[in-house]
Amino acid sequence: MTGAGRYAPSPSGDLHLGNLRTAVLAWVLARRSGRAFHLRVEDLDRVRAGAEQRQLEDLAALGIDWDGPVVRQSERGGAHAAAIADLQEAGLVYECFCTRREILEAPSAPHAPPGAYPGTCRDLDPGAQEAGRARMAQLRRAPALRLRAGVDRASVHDMFAGTVTAAVDDLVLRRGDGVVAYNLAVVVDDAAAGVDQVVRGDDLLTSAPRQAHLARLLGLPVPEYAHVPLAVNRDGARLAKRDGAVTLRDRLELGESAAQVMGRIGDSLGLPGCTSAADVLARWDPAAPPDAPWVVELPG
Residue 108 pLDDT exceeds 80: no
User: Is 76 known as a binding-site position?
Assistant: no
CB-based contact 265:239 (threshold 8 Å):
no
Q: Give the pLDDT band (50/70/90) at residue 298.
A: confident
User: Is 241 known as a binding-site position?
Assistant: yes
Q: Average pLDDT, stretch 281-291?
A: 92
Q: Average pLDDT, stretch 33-57?
A: 95
Q: What is the pLDDT of residue 115?
A: 72
Residue 46 pLDDT exceeds 90: no
Q: Give the pLDDT band (50/70/90) at residue 110.
A: low
Residues 108 and 152 in one domain: yes
Q: What is the pLDDT of residue 112?
A: 65
User: Model-level pTM?
Assistant: 0.93
What average pLDDT does the chain have? 94
Residues 107 and 62 in one domain: no
Q: What is the CATH number of the domain that holds 9?
A: 3.40.50.620
Final residue before a domain boundary, out of 201, 228, 255? 228
Residues 203 and 268 in one domain: no
Residue 242 pLDDT exceeds 90: no
Residues 276 and 154 in one domain: no
Q: Which of 215, 191, 223, 178 is nearest to 87 (CA)?
A: 215
Final residue before a domain boundary, out of 228, 253, 278? 228
User: Is 274 known as a binding-site position?
Assistant: no
Residue 102 pLDDT exceeds 90: no
User: Is 94 known as a binding-site position?
Assistant: no
CB-based contact 206:175 (threshold 8 Å):
no
Q: How far is CA 292 from CA 268, 288, 298, in A?
A: 10, 12, 18
Pairing label, strands 153-158, 162-167: antiparallel
Residues 67 and 93 in one domain: no
Residues 89 and 219 in one domain: yes
CA angle 17, 198, 203 (to 5 degrees): 55
Q: For residue 240, give its domain range.
A: 4-75+229-295
User: Is 200 known as a binding-site position?
Assistant: yes
User: Is 10 known as a binding-site position?
Assistant: yes
User: Is 8 known as a binding-site position?
Assistant: yes
Residue 73 pLDDT exceeds 70: yes
Final residue before a domain boundary, out of 173, 203, 228? 228
User: Is 144 known as a binding-site position?
Assistant: no
Q: What is the pLDDT of residues 201-236, one digit of tens each?
A: 999 999 999 999 999 999 999 999 999 999 999 989
Residue 300 lies in a domain: no
